[in-house]
Amino acid sequence: MPKPNSIMAVLAIWSLSATVAESGIGVNWGTVSLHKLSPSTVVDLLRENKIGKVKMFDTDPDVLKGLMGSGIQVMVGVPNEMLGLISSSSGASDLWVQKNVSAYMGKGGANIRYVAVGNEPFLSSYSGQFQSYVIPALMNLQQSLAKANLAGYVKLVVPCNADAYESSLPSQGAFRPELIDIMTQIVSFLNSNGSPFVVNIYPFLSLYGNSDFPQDYAFFEGTSHAVTDGSNVYYNAFDGNFDTLVAALSKIGYGQMPIVVGEVGWPTDGAVGANLTAARVFNQGLINHILSNKGTPLRPGDPPMDIYLFSLLDEEAKTILPGNFERHWGIFSFDGQAKYPLNLGLGNGRLKNAKDVQYLPPRWCVAKPSTDLSAVVNHLRIACSAADCTTLNYGGSCNAIGVKGNISYAFNSYYQLQKQDSKSCNFDGLGMITFLDPSIGECRFVVGLTDSSSSSFIKHSRWFIAWLWMSWGVWIFVL
């Protein structure tokens, strides 16, 4: 572990540089994926796109090692499931900070600026499961950071879902009655330690969960359903939601509290309304709105101090209990390729793709064209229980490609997950391997990623296959 003095020297340098260039636009980097890019590739992707802030949901050692020396500001997370232990044991808190914060900081280390204590711990669907742990965990972690000489630099925050507050109009915003006391204590703690209030705002979920929600109000391009609140008029759901929080904070005496939007975005697949066009329009509108510095009716000229887009990459292994769209929030697909043109306003123009991504050979598993597929149901169940088939459901990008196309998509998803093992394309003789990309429109049949150790071979063999096809009109397998 680095010596405290060396850590403080580095923190002083970081603090000076942070006052010069802070973008205000960051991303959430989740890692619940079936096809994972190496952390070094993702960090290069962040740098290439000049993204200077990253929010994590845990303390993945590989990710933190990848971020060391990058200068990128990092928010790490204490999972909800750990709050009970940390709240009840100062020793456990000390050990957590030592292993997950101190160990990565210092000269050439990670620039950890925030520790998120839980993730939406007051979500109403949790029925108060984590509620009693939050304040004791905050207290213990603050003491642990102080012992490590980090309390002046690393700030504790508590990311809250927007369901922590409620109202019919923004100016009437208030925290849920059962949360008023605990929120008052938390906000007082945050304020006394120079920490912002972190909130997650999702206009998409408002639209998805309410058939009466006006669609144009979810975006930033004007609406015929503006909300009038006294002398204030709201033209988009983001501003209305944000000011509802401002009003709730004002009611407990902290109306000027700095606010960070910890999660905000729009999915590209898996539901009606979740598509590439809507995601581009929402995210670009949001970024332009934030960077215009117009603020909101209750905070004119004072936008959120930071926003973290949700999310950087698709995560094909996330739970789909909230909806199939949960696996499709990324501004980049799982392989670091931009899904649509987006300018983050960081002086870098449109998104730039990840470089030197190491793919498996260009081949796919599909259903045999002349085979009776009446016995395919069990195979589909097995394939989709392991691989991601959410694009096949209603509203998904692959929903309309036909029955045989759906079967092929499921077969291929499983085949790529199994690193193109030829046996995984058998399906009792119903599957076959093809070298012709079966993708249709926005329905993309993926090719999986390979290990870095074989990257050079795969890279050259893909060119060799292409040369053979152009020169001889034949394909050969590259094993």
Single-letter code of the amino acid located at 147: K
> Catalytic: which of 22, 81, 120, 326?
120
**Residues whose CB is less than 8 angstroms from the CB of residue 200 and which lie 6 or more positions away in sequence, other chains included:** 120, 159, 160, 161, 162, 261, 262, 263, 264, 310
Q: Residue 171 and residue 249: Cα distance in Å, rounded?
A: 11
CB atoms within 10 A of CB 103: 16
Distances in whole angstroms, Cα of residue 461 to Cα of each of 35, 359, 455, 466, 472: 21, 11, 10, 9, 16
- Asked whether the bond before 455 is cis by omega within 30 degrees of 0, the reply is no
**Residues whose CB is less than 8 angstroms from the CB of residue 177 and which lie 6 or more positions away in sequence, other chains included:** none
Q: Which residues of 286-317 are buried (b: 16+ CB within 10 A; e: fewer)?
A: bbebbbeeebbbbbeeebbebbbbbbbbbbbb
C-alpha radius of gyration, the chain, whole number: 24
Measure CA 80 to chain center. Answer: 17
Q: Residue 322 and residue 341: Cα distance in Å, rounded?
A: 27
Do the Cβ atoms of 320 and 327 come closer than 8 Å?
A: yes
Q: What are the tokens at 164? A: 């922590």
Q: What is the largest CA-CA distance in the chain?
A: 76
Instruction: Please give the sequence-ordered ranges of beta strands (E in DSSP) within 272-361, or none if there are none.
Output: 295-296, 299-300, 306-309
Q: Is 166 a catalytic residue?
A: no
> Catalytic: which of 22, 48, 221, 263?
263
Which of 345, 467, 381, 460 shows the shortest CA–CA distance to 50? 345
Q: Transcribe 236-258 into DSSP letters.
A: SHHHHHHHHHHHHHHHTT-TT--
Which of 287, 294, 221, 295 shows the shortest CA–CA distance to 258? 295
Q: Transcribe 209-237 into DSSP letters.
A: H-TTS-GGGGSSS--SSPEEETTEEE-SH
Strand partners, 27: 54, 309
Which of 134, 155, 60, 71 shows the shortest CA–CA distance to 105? 71
Q: Is 315 a catalytic residue?
A: no
By annotation, the residues acting in catalysis are: 120, 263
